[in-house]
């Protein structure tokens, strides 16, 4: 009787430890432990396909109007209207093409810049920007990407999410380093110098 009870206890303990292990592994997978500075970048191709060109131009025109109206609202001291106009433009379906993607990142960054001084606005900025700048999302090598990542970092700092803030700032620095490296190539500087400096 006592030997059987001991076996049951041993079996139960083994199962419990296994379950805890599975749970711990699950938690580890779903919650990053610290700053995540990974980023996947691509060189934007700014020559639109013929079929997409008109749709992309239309999208850019819509975003241009939104920026102009937001500028006018800000000049009149009406920041709420500026935010509302930018939010409306963000809800507009983005056209295909790298120009459109870059313009949308700038638009999202500008909206976030207006929102972030307020804690609630900072949380909203994180909800908006995180999917656009997700780790598994390839991002264009452009200043708009760096700017949007900085805005995400600022918003995360505002709500004391320091891991997200550090990761976002680090990712923005990587974008800017890549931009600098491309600029050095355009200037005809040796790639070895750029690589040496980046180490």
Q: Which parts of this chain interact with another protein (CB under 8 A)? A: 33-35, 37, 43-48, 53, 56-57, 60-61, 63-64, 67-68, 70-71, 74-75, 99, 102-103, 106-107, 109-110, 113, 143, 146-147, 149-150, 153-154, 156-157, 162-163, 165-166, 169-170, 172-174, 176-177, 179-180, 184, 186-187, 189, 193, 196-199
Q: Phi first, then psi: give them for residue 189, nearest 5 degrees.
A: -75, 155
Q: Residue 125 CA to chain centroid, in angstroms?
A: 10
Whole-number Å distance between alpha carbons of 178 and 141? 7
Coil vs helix vs strand at 133: coil
Residues found in the chain: 199
Minimum distance, C-beta of residue 102 to another protein, in the bound complex (Å): 8
Minimum distance, C-beta of residue 185 to another protein, in the bound complex (Å): 11
Minimum distance, C-beta of residue 19 to another protein, in the bound complex (Å): 25
The residue among 110, 23, 97 whose CA lies nearest residue 69 is 110
Q: Which is nearer to another protein, 2 or 50 (CB)?
A: 50
Q: Which is nearer to another protein, 48 or 139 (CB)?
A: 48
């Amino acid at each position: 009787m006592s030997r059987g009870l001991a076996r049951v206890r041993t079996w139960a303990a083994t199962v419990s430890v296994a379950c805890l292990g599975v749970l711990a592994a699950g938690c580890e997978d779903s919650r990053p432990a610290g700053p995540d500075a990974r980023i996947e970048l691509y060189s934007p191709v700014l020559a639109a396909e013929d079929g997409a060109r008109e749709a992309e131009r239309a999208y850019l025109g819509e975003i241009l109007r939104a920026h102009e109206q937001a500028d006018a609202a800000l000049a009149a001291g009406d920041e709420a209207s500026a935010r509302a106009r930018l939010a409306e433009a963000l809800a507009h379906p983005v056209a295909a093409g790298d120009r459109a993607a870059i313009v949308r990142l700038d638009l999202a960054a500008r909206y976030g810049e207006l929102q972030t001084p307020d804690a609630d606005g900072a949380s909203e900025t994180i909800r908006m920007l995180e999917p656009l700048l997700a780790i598994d999302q390839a991002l264009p090598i452009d200043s708009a990407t760096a700017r949007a990542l900085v805005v995400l970092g600022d918003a995360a700092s505002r709500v004391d999410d320091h891991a997200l803030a550090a990761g976002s700032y680090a990712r923005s620095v990587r974008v800017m380093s890549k931009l600098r490296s491309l600029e050095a190539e355009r200037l005809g500087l040796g790639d070895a110098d750029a690589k040496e400096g980046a180490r």
